[in-house]
Amino acid sequence: MIDLRLGRWQDVLSDVEDGSVRLILTSPPYDNAREYEGTAEPVDFGELARFVLRVLMPGGVLAMVLDGAVNDGELSVTPFRVICDWAALKGWRLLQVLAYGRNGAPGRYEGRFRRDHEPLVVFVRDGAPHVCEKDRIADRAAYGRQHGPFTGRARDGSLRGQSSVREDAFDRRHRGSLWLYGAVGHGSDPSADTGHPATFAEAFARDAVTVWSNPGDLVIDPFAGSATVGRACIDLGRSFIGAERVGPCPSCGSTRAGPCSCDREWVNYYAIGMQRLVQQSIFGIGASA
């Protein structure tokens, strides 16, 4: 099931069954940092937390990219406030805060450093172990068995120095807290070419869905945008439900995926998402619906 719904998430996701969702992967708007086609709808994070706690199954995961706006050199504390408020709620626990890394825009950044990451906040619903299959995105180790820092060979050729680590530690290098994807630019990741102004890397969505869910599980994105999460779910054999509130132009009714022809130059983000779901993936996996 792949289902991208047009409307506010509070309305179009109200029928999602309690305890049915394995993973919520999303990046909500914050601090009114952007207007989408002249409109901005501040997120009620208390309302969002209640929804997440209702629909996540025991052991379900929320993975949320949430940054804070910078105005006149002052960084918003929105992500920190949300983390503290949500961690105090019963029913789940804050697992950790990772870093979704992408190259920031060039510039002098007087008095501060360029931001090359956004917080990736991970909560786990109480009641069962959560899915966390790190091996699925692990890399081959950069060091060999006979040349690595943890082991060597004795004169007789036998391996030594492995008593304190797992055998497969010499074959796999698990990712740490920095999930780095570089610049999400034109030609390097399809997210940049959708026409949506705020996307994350398709490779990131694939990695997150791969680690925190299993084939056949239901994944939700309440702020679907260009449907990057849905595209990943198609490729990886997960079910997906998403919500996107910006649809056809209210002036001319254009349903095209891109700017319409009227003076408003409205962009139909819902149509962009629907188009994304039927296109061929850059990872060589066919479209599905």
Please determine, for residue 186, whether its predicted confidence score (pLDDT) is greater than 50: no
- Residue keyed to tokens 């304190």: 164
pLDDT (tens digit per residue) in 244-261: 888 776 766 666 666 666
CA-to-CA dists, residue 91 to 41, 118, 123, 133, angstroms: 27, 26, 10, 23
Instruction: Give the lowest-confidence range in 62-66, 126-130, 157-161, 276-280.
Output: 157-161
Bigger pLDDT: 261 vs 188: 261
Q: What is the pLDDT of residue 163?
A: 46
Token representation of residue 98: 């990772």
Please determine, for residue 268, whether its predicted confidence score (pLDDT) is greater than 80: no
CATH at residue 47? 3.40.50.150
Confidence of residue 38 (pLDDT cuts 50, 70, 90): low
pTM listed for this prediction: 0.78
Q: Is 136 left (phi over 0), alpha (psi -120 to 50) or beta?
A: alpha
Instruction: Give the lowest-confidence range in 37-51, 68-82, 153-167.
Output: 153-167
Average pLDDT, the chain: 78
| Residue 46 lies in domain | 2-138+174-247
Confidence of residue 161 (pLDDT cuts 50, 70, 90): low
Residue 202, in any domain of the structure: yes
Phi, psi of 276 (to 5 degrees): -60, -35
Q: What is the pLDDT of residue 158?
A: 57
> Mean pLDDT highest for which of 105-119, 150-164, 213-227, 249-263?
213-227
CB neighbours of residue 269 within 10 Å = 24
Asked if 66 and 45 touch (Cβ cutoff 8 Å), the reply is no
Residue 256, in any domain of the structure: no
- Percent with pLDDT over 70 in the chain: 67
Residue 145, in any domain of the structure: no
Residue 208, in any domain of the structure: yes
Residue 155, in any domain of the structure: no
Q: What is the pLDDT of residue 169?
A: 53
- Number of folded domains that form the chain: 1
Q: What is the pLDDT of residue 123?
A: 97
Residue 267, in any domain of the structure: no
Bigger pLDDT: 18 vs 137: 18
Residue 144, in any domain of the structure: no
Residue 206, in any domain of the structure: yes
